[in-house]
Amino acid sequence: MIVQPLAKRPPESVLEALRSSLASCRDLAFAHLVEVVVPEHSRHPDPTLFVWLLPGGVRSMRSSLNLVSEAVARSLPDDLYLDVLILNSAPELLAIVESAGEPFLVRDAGEREGALAAMDAAEEVVEPEQPRPRRRWWF
């Protein structure tokens, strides 16, 4: 999977409507708007909205996803679509998504800082050194 900044940005009015609509989603902590290419499935990038939910939103993930999806649908013209993915379900993608640029929206900076700190801590985990096998002496 390749995650990159949007090459073809929608009009600013559409982006502002999307940002405003997402800001009303109570369970949303932050979101990234990027392009994703999955080489095994397509060569064309798909605009994708990665969202990180607050802990309360994770407990009712289906409801939270419905609210975010409704906010996206209200904001976009009929000829524009976005895939919506919940980063909490795949936190290992956070580093890749963050490397594509600044978030599209941050509603809860503390939650984002916590997610980034957890990501950094996970990257620092080092595998424990494995004991070296004993040599066997054959007679």
Q: How far out from the chain centre does Cα 23 lie?
A: 16
pLDDT of residue 132: 52
Q: Which domains are delineated in the chain?
A: 2-123 (3.30.300)
Low-confidence spans in the chain with pLDDT less than 50: 125-126, 139
pLDDT of residue 126: 47
pTM of the complete model beyond 0.95: no
Nearest to 45 by CA among 3, 101, 73: 3
Nearest to 94 by CA among 111, 73, 77: 111
